[in-house]
């Protein structure tokens, strides 16, 4: 019996998660899925974001499937910090795993890349950096206001995520890791990252490496995304770089992610990279592929490799069947992919 906690969350999060659940139900017959009602509506109804007792229950699951968090009716940061980032930090999900592959049928805005040519994974640090929430404000709302944000970085936190990136690179065809930071300006944190990266690299003689500043990497992700294999970077740079990677591989509708605790000390959490998209919520037109591909990462993480592969094969088939510009129905996509997964798994 595999126990999965499902947090649909806000906006289209609910809709795409419903489809991901359909697929999961087919891929993993022996499944207990428990819904948790968290997000904007619970916050408005009860003032609660993530009660301690709920967090303790979530911790008793094998993995968490999350839709999206964030709503225009809630002040920015309340749900993000109180729910999404709280789970990432408290469950020590230090590997924020974000693969980007240009699949046949996906619409890239780039002129000169073909399906198969982009196949990269960003290993984004998930528990440190500017996401720590350190900082403050003085004289708020006056002309004397100052506001600070502090990026906190440890050797411990840097080394474990860098090592994870090398481990992944070792298992891939090209065996290349690019470290991305901004050492020429952020010399304290950048120095720590760069030295740690170079040291860990010596343990992996078969893996080739390079280093790029975040501004150059962002440009490169547009000009020559084929260059990248594994990318390892800090929390904020990873946030930005993965949205660009998503853009060049068919958009945020296809981008999956896992907030992974590789030690399995707490459940890992899988979610589409996209947000709650309030503008299209409730219309049944959101693409559930990103959520569905996130279940493939989930299955892989809990040791269900065959089911994980079936889901990603079914998604590839679904995308190749698409006609550019054709409107889509969230539920129909989920039905089709679930049926294909059933077929593949026999």
Q: Which of 138, 147, 185, 332 binds ligand IPM (CB under 6 A)?
A: 185
249 near 100, Cβ under 8 Å? yes
Q: Is 315 left (phi over 0), alpha (psi -120 to 50) or beta?
A: alpha
Task: Give CA separation, 106 vs 66, 103, 244, 249, in Å.
Answer: 23, 6, 15, 7
- Structural tokens at position 335: 């039905």
Q: Based on CB atoms, which residue is closest to a second copy, 222 or 332?
A: 222
Query: Per-residue contact track with ligand IPM, 40 to 79, x per CB under 6 A?
Result: ------------------------------x---------
Q: Which residues bind a second copy (CB under 8 A)?
A: 70, 76-77, 80-81, 85, 108-112, 130-131, 135-137, 139-156, 159, 182-192, 194-195, 214-216, 218-219, 222-223, 236, 239-240, 242-244, 246-248, 251-252, 275
Question: Which member of 80, 90, 117, 167 binds ligand IPM (CB under 6 A)?
Answer: 80
Q: Which is nearer to ligand IPM, 248 or 273 (CB)?
A: 273
Q: Are strands 129-138 and 95-101 parallel, antiparallel or unpaired?
A: unpaired
Smallest distance, Å, CB 302 to a second copy?
28
CA distance 124 to 29: 32
Minimum distance of a second copy from residue 246's CB (angstroms): 7
Size of the site for ligand IPM (CB under 6 A): 9
Asked if 40 contacts 73 with a C-beta cutoff of 8 angstroms, the reply is: yes
Judged by DSSP in three states, 73 sits in coil
Catalytic residues: 131, 182, 215, 239, 243
Interaction partner, residue 345 (ligand IPM, a second copy, none; CB < 5-8 Å by kind): none
Task: Out of 215, 222, 264, 284, point to the residue binding ligand IPM (CB under 6 A).
Answer: 215
Spatial separation of the C-alpha atoms in residues 183 and 177, rounded to whole Å: 17
Positive or negative CA dihedral for 280, 282, 287, 290? positive
- Which residues are near ligand IPM by CB under 6 A? 70, 80, 84, 184-185, 215, 239, 273, 275
């Amino acid at each position: 019996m595999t126990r999965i906690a499902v947090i649909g969350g806000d906006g289209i999060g609910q809709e795409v998660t419903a489809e991901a659940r359909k697929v999961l139900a087919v891929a993993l017959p022996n499944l207990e899925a428990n819904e948790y009602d968290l997000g904007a509506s619970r916050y408005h109804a009860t003032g609660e974001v993530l009660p301690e007792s709920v967090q303790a229950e979530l911790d008793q699951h094998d993995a968490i499937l999350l839709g999206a968090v964030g709503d225009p009716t809630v002040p920015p940061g309340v749900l993000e910090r109180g729910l999404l980032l709280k789970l990432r930090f408290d469950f020590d999900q230090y590997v924020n795993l974000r693969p980007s592959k240009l699949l046949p049928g996906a619409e890239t805005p780039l002129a000169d890349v073909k399906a198969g040519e982009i196949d990269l994974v960003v290993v984004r640090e998930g528990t440190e950096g500017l996401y720590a929430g350190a900082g403050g404000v003085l004289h708020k709302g006056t002309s004397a206001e100052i506001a600070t944000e502090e990026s906190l970085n440890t050797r411990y936190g840097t080394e474990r995520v860098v090592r994870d990136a090398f481990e992944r690179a070792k298992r891939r065809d090209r065996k290349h890791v690019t470290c991305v930071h901004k050492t020429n300006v952020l010399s304290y944190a950048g120095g720590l990252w760069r030295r740690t990266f170079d040291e860990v690299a010596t343990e992996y003689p078969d893996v080739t490496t390079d280093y790029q500043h975040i501004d150059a990497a962002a440009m490169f992700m547009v000009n020559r995304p084929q260059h990248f294999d594994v990318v390892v970077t800090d929390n904020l740079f990873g946030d930005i770089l993965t949205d660009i990677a998503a853009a060049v591989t068919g958009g945020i509708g296809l981008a999956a992610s896992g907030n992974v605790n590789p030690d399995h000390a707490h459940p890992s959490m899988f979610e589409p990279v996209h947000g709650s998209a309030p503008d299209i919520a409730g219309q049944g037109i959101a693409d559930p592929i990103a959520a569905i591909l996130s279940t493939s990462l989930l299955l892989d993480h809990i040791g269900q490799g065959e089911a994980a592969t079936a889901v990603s094969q079914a998604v590839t088939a679904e995308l190749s069947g698409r006609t550019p510009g054709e409107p889509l129905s969230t539920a129909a996509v989920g039905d089709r992919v679930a049926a294909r997964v059933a077929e593949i798994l026999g």
